[in-house]
Amino acid sequence: MAFTINREKCVGCGACAWVCLFNVPAQLKDDPTKYDIPKEKCVGCGHCEIICPNNAVSPCADHRWIRKLTINPEKCIGCTVCAHICPEKAPFGERGKPFEIDQSKCTQCGACAVKCRHEAILVEYE
């Protein structure tokens, strides 16, 4: 679900790093005037692509857009990880019981699905 930065187009403005809710884009060690998105850390929300003034950010070849996230009550143990990682606080519930996702708050960033250790978050792709 990751995004990538075209180094030829990147002007090093840092907008991608500024907008990322998960602190993923980082300056390159060999060229601090450019940024990179480590694929293994990117949750695929696309905020960086939207804000990039130079169109240097694009989805990786295997990227799929998330359409909807839901929680499987049979797998959810109510650990609260999803609620803590979500920047919009869309997952809600009582500790120890299955959580739900408030679809009106969910931005389909996928962070909750990436962090869920019990594979309780179902992802529907476009």
pLDDT value for 116: 94
For a pLDDT cut of 70, what percent of the chain falls above it?
A: 100
pLDDT tens digits, one per residue of 17-41: 999 988 999 999 999 999 999 988 8
Domains 3-59 and 66-125 share a fold: yes
How distant is the alpha carbon of residue 26 from its chain centre? 15
In the chain, where the domains are located: 3-59, 66-125
Indicate the CATH number for domain 66-125: 3.30.70.20
CATH match of 3-59 with 3.30.70.20: yes
C-alpha span between 126 and 108 (Å, rounded): 11
What is residue 26's DSSP assignment? Answer: E
> What's the CA gap between 99 and 42, in Å, rounded?
24
pLDDT at 85: 92
d(Cα 80, Cα 97) in Å, to the nearest integer? 9
Per-residue model confidence (pLDDT) at position 75? 98
